[in-house]
Structure formats: C-alpha cells, structure tokens
Amino acid sequence: MKAQCLQLAPMPHILTRSSPVPAMPLFFRPFAGRETERPAVRQKGSGNIHTGVDIAGLSHEQLVVRVATERDRAAFRILFDHYAPRLKSYLVTLGLGDERAEDLAQETLVTVWQKAEQFQPDKARLSTWMFRIARNKFIDQTRRQKYPEVDADDHLQHLVSDDKADTGAIEGQMADRVATAMARLKENQRQVIELSFFEELSHTEIAERLSLPLGTVKSRIRIAFEALRNELGEFK
Amino acid sequence: MTAHGHIPDEWLVSYAAGALSDAQALLVATHVDYHPGLKARVAEAEAIGGALLEGVAPKPMKTDAFDDLMARIDMLPDDEEAPAPPSAAERGLDTDIPPVLADYLGRRLDDMNWRLMGPGMRQCRLAKGKDGECLWLLRARGGTVMPMHDHRGTEFTLVLRGSYHVGDQQFTPGLLEIAASDLKDHQPMIDEGEDCICLVITEAPIRIHSLLGRMVQPFIGL
C-alpha cells in the first residue's frame, strides 16, 4: 500500500506543482549538525540566504515540501516552532506527563522529517497529517496493538486548485474557518467532539460521564460531524 | 441515512479520534478499506483532529528542544531509498481481504486455527479486550442457519468472504452488520455456496435460545 502511494505522487510532481524555486545548488545540502544554529536567525528575515526564497511567506504545506525536497532546516524550524508546542499540549491533554509529552512531540517531528516526501500537499492539510502521526504514536506507546491505519488520503479529491495552493494566505483562512466552525457548534456538540479527541472516550464512556442515553451521544457526534464537514467543505 | 452495511459516522469520528478499542479500530479500518467514500469521511474526521490541534493552547518546549531534535535527526541512518515493504501476496498472505487485516492475522484465513463451534460453524478467537469484548473470526458453511440469539452488548459482524441474510437484508464482503444490545431473535442465514467468513466483535456473551446451544456455549467461549 505504502509503495503504491509513493508511486501515485512521485516527488517531481510535487516539485513542479508547488515549488517556484529553481533546483537547489548542491552546496546547500546540509552536513550533519552544522546548520542547526543559523536557521533560527534566518527565518524571521527576508528568507533563506542561500536561495533567496522568502520562506516566511510560505504555507505550512509548502514548508514541508521544502523539507522533503531540500532538507531545509530553516523551513523545518518554522514548523517546529508552530507545531511542537501544540503537539505537546495535545499529548498532555491525552494524559501524558510533561516529559513524555515533549518526547513524543519530538518523535512526531522526527517522523515528519523522515516522511516529509510522503505528505501530499494537494490532498491533506499539514495539521491533519501531524495529528494522525501523533495519535498513532500515542496509541502505539500506550496500548498493546499498533493503530490499524486507513490509507485515507488515497481517495481524496485534490484539496485546493493548483493556483490557490501557491498562496500562503490559505493557511490563515483555513484556521479561521475551522475556529469559526468549532465556535458555531452548539456547546453540547463541541463537548462530545472534545471528549472523543482529547480524552479518547468511547461513546459509552461519554454517556456515563455526561449522564446521557447512549443514543443521544451518538446522534450528537453525528450532527457535530455533519456541521463541521459542511463548514470545512474543501474536500468536496 | 447511513448506507446499508456501512458504518455510521459516530464510529468513524471515534476511529479518527483514537477513541475506539483495539478490536474496534481494527474492524473499522478493515471495513473502511473496502469503501472509498468511507475513507474520505475518515480523512474528514481526522481533519477535525487537525483543527483541534491548531486550536490548543501551546505548551512551551524546553529551550534547546529544536537542537535536540536536529541532533536526533542527524543520528538517523542515511535516508537512502528504503526498499518497499513486501506486499501481502509476496508474504504469502490473502489478497482478497484488506492489507491491514491480512497483516494483523499474519497468515491466510485457511491456515487459521479453526475450532468447531457448532453444526457447520467454526471459530477462531483473536483477542480479548475490556469488559468481555472479544474479537474473533466466524466461518460458517453455506446454507447454515445460525442459532437464534439475543444480544446483551453491541455485536459487529464484517463479512470477508461468502454472504449471509438477516430477513431480507443481505451482507456481502465489505459490508458490516451492527446488532444493537437490545436486538432480539437475531438469526442470520448463511447463503448457499462458499463458506462465509466474518470478522466479529462481541461485547458480552450472546444468549442462545436452544437448550443445546446454551449447553455448548460455555465451551465455545462466546
């Protein structure tokens, strides 16, 4: 399955699609450890001094593509700064201690670095991909069985058209729309979604926690999902 | 609203959230693999997880966390093209069932350790979970009428091979039947032809009506 997935989206395809950058000069390829200090300084400026690309203006999805194609540490640093503290927060909410949560957030980002080229920027948002990696790592660590994975992106339509994919602004718009959609949910609908995602409670456990009939819990989850799907309708 | 034999959304949301038991997660992932439309819905449910991740209050990492991370990454073996993992067929596994299940079983359905369960029926237990949850495979000969039974917990039955009827509803490979806890007089009839093999989760012991059934029940472990 995995090999097939790679063949469907070979790297050159991603490169031509979303990287307006000419091929990297060879000397950029970082040597182990040497580049770790400087990127932090670079990221806030007008971009990467080697390439002249303003990485600060790229979407998170485009940054991952740079990590995949150029092993761009400055791009990776931006992703780290944004996602690591959020991954840690999510993992603490799931019940991990501070130390383990930080460690698992780090592991998640190692996987992001390693598997960056498997990320399909035209099919999934980065936050969804990161969530999936972190969820699987959490379950693999806390249960006996590895999480049985669904190859979910295989069958998705392209998320956005090509010209829209090149604008960094879409990131902010999406985040806003998601926040709006969550905010628009009725309180009792948001509650069942959060108990599912943040506490990994089963339907039965939610019913017990909220003293509700099981059927009510199920229908609230269905209604909330439908409302969010409509709001996040970019998949259609 | 949910299509016949397709799992309702609340289970897909719980799968995406990581809120299912091990057995349920395996069954849902296997079921979803048959249906592109359900795969897309799982991706949508996972996008909720992504959105929630965006929205949490960040918890600061240690000050040198990024350097630690890059040090870890630099320690990794060179990322040369890893050979593609061998396919199910190359590993001698069944190719007519979803890879996620074939991997889990680790051998062909025909090679499983089938134990006699009743007339025309065999079973193979796979895992026990919390609160009496049991994951198992059922293999029933074509034409078998299952013993009439009631439920005390939710029962999931996913068809892998062959087919069966309950009343006028037919269940074929990839289709799932969820029998609610209050379901009475549940009596599936296996269709004529090849053996029907199903992946089943029972939450609590089922209640078989016939005296003979009740007598053998303790021995078959359901």
Question: How far does the CA of residue A150 sit from the closest CA of chain B (Å)?
Answer: 6
In the predicted model, what is the mean pLDDT of residues A152-172? 48
Among A20-24, A63-67, A195-199, B31-35, which is the least confidently predicted range? A20-24
| Cα A162 from Cα A90, distance rounded (Å) | 32
Least confident of A118-122, A132-136, A220-224, B71-75: A118-122
pLDDT number for residue B30: 98
Closest-CA distance of chain A to residue B98, Å: 10
Question: Which residue stretches of A52-125 are H helix?
Answer: 60-70, 73-93, 98-115
The token pair that represents B216 in the structure block? 């053998």
Over the stretch A26-62, which tens digit does the pLDDT of each residue have? 333 333 333 333 333 344 333 445 556 788 888 899 9
The rounded distance, in Å, linking the Cα atoms of A181 and A173 is 12
B114: left (phi over 0), alpha (psi -120 to 50) or beta: beta
| Residue in chain A lying closest to B154 (CA) | A204
| Distance from the B5 Cα atom to the nearest Cα atom in chain A, whole angstroms | 17
Pairwise pLDDT comparison (A20 vs A198), residue with the higher score: A198
A232/B44 touch (CB, cutoff 8 Å), yes or no: yes
d(CA B191, CA B141) in angstroms, rounded, equals 9
Of B44 and A151, the one with more pLDDT: B44
Closest by CA to A39, choosing from A51, A49, A31, is A49
Q: Which residue of B has its CA nearest to A198?
A: B17
Report the pLDDT value the prediction gives residue B131, as an integer from 0 to 100.
83
In the block, residue with structure tokens 């039974």: B149
CB B61 within 8 A of CB B31: no
Q: How far is A33 from chain B (nearest CA, A)?
A: 6
pLDDT of A24 higher than 60: no
Residue range B48-61: mean pLDDT, rounded? 93
Minimal Cα–Cα distance from A235 to chain B, Å?
A: 8
Q: Domains for chain A: give ranges and CATH numbers.
A: 2-21+35-156 (1.10.1740.10)
Helix %, strand %, coil % of chain B (to 5): 35, 25, 45
Cβ atoms B9, A230 nearer than 8 A: no
From the list A106, A128, A135, which residue is nearest B47 (CB)? A128
Please name the residue that has the structure tokens 């016939």. B210
| Cα angle B111-B201-B24, degrees, rounded to a multiple of 5 | 100
Over residues B49-74, the mean pLDDT reads 94
Top mean pLDDT of A8-17, B62-71, B125-134 is at B62-71
Of B82-91, B118-127, B191-200, the poorest mean pLDDT is in B82-91
Q: What pLDDT was estimated at residue B2?
A: 77
pLDDT of residue B130: 87
Q: What's the pLDDT at A169?
A: 45
The span from the first CA to the last CA of chain B, in angstroms, equals: 32
Instruction: Work out the minimum CA distance from B66 to partner chain A, whole angstroms.
Output: 7
% of chain B at pLDDT higher than 70? 84
Is the pLDDT at A152 greater than 80? The verdict is no
CA angle B203, A150, A202 (to 5 degrees): 35
Chain B residues whose CB is inside 8 A of the A132 CB are 46, 49
Q: What is residue B107's DSSP assignment?
A: S
Average pLDDT over every residue of A69-81: 95
Which residue carries 């930080």 as its tokens? A102
The answer to whether the CB atoms of B51 and A232 lie below 8 A apart is: yes
- Quick one: CA dihedral B192, B197, B198, B202, positive or negative? positive
Of B202, B144, B197, B195, which is closest to residue B178 (Cα–Cα)? B202
Q: What is the mean pLDDT of residues B59-64?
A: 96
Q: Report how far residue B159's alpha carbon sits from residue B34's, in angstroms, rounded to the nearest whole number.
A: 11
Q: How confident is the model over B175-214, as pLDDT tens digits?
A: 999 987 766 667 789 999 999 999 999 986 656 666 556 5
Chain A hits for B52, CB-CB cut-off 8 Å, are 90, 131, 182, 193-194, 197-198
Residue-level pLDDT at B3: 86
User: Quick one: three-class SS letters along chain B?
Assistant: CCCCCCCCHHHHHHHHHCCCCHHHHHHHHHHHHCCHHHHHHHHHHHHHHHHHHHHCCCCCCCCCHHHHHHHHHHHCCCCCCCCCCCCCCCCCCCCCCCHHHHHHHCCCHHHCCCEEEECCEEEEEEEECHHHCEEEEEEECCCCECCCEECCCCEEEEEEECCEEECCEEECCCCEEEECCCCCCECCEECCCCCEEEEEEECCCCEECCHHHHHHHHHHCC
B22 contact residues in A (CB cutoff 8 A): 143-145
Report whether A160 contacts A170 (CB < 8 A).
yes
pLDDT in tens, A1-17: 333 333 333 333 333 33
What's the CA gap between B193 and A18, in Å, rounded? 53
CATH T-level assignment (fold) for domain B108-220: Jelly Rolls (2.60.120)
Query: Is residue A192 within 8 Å of A204, Cβ to Cβ?
Result: no
Of B18, B68, B104, the CB nearest to A135: B18
Cβ proximity of A105 and A84 under 8 Å: yes
Taking all residues of chain A, what is their mean pLDDT, rounded to a whole number? Answer: 75
In this structure, of A204-208, B95-99, B143-147, B188-192, the range with the lowest mean pLDDT score is: B143-147
Return the residue matching tokens 């449910």: B45
Model confidence at B118: pLDDT above 50? yes
CB-based contact A24:A70 (threshold 8 Å): yes
Query: Which two three-digit tokens encode residue B31?
Result: 């079921």
CB contact under 8 A, A33 and B74: yes
Q: Please tell me which of the candidates A134, A197, A232 has its beta carbon nearest to residue B17.
A: A197
The chain B residue lying nearest A150, using CA atoms, is: B29
B-contacting residues in A 203-222 (Cβ below 8 Å): 203, 217-219, 221-222
pTM of the full predicted structure? 0.82
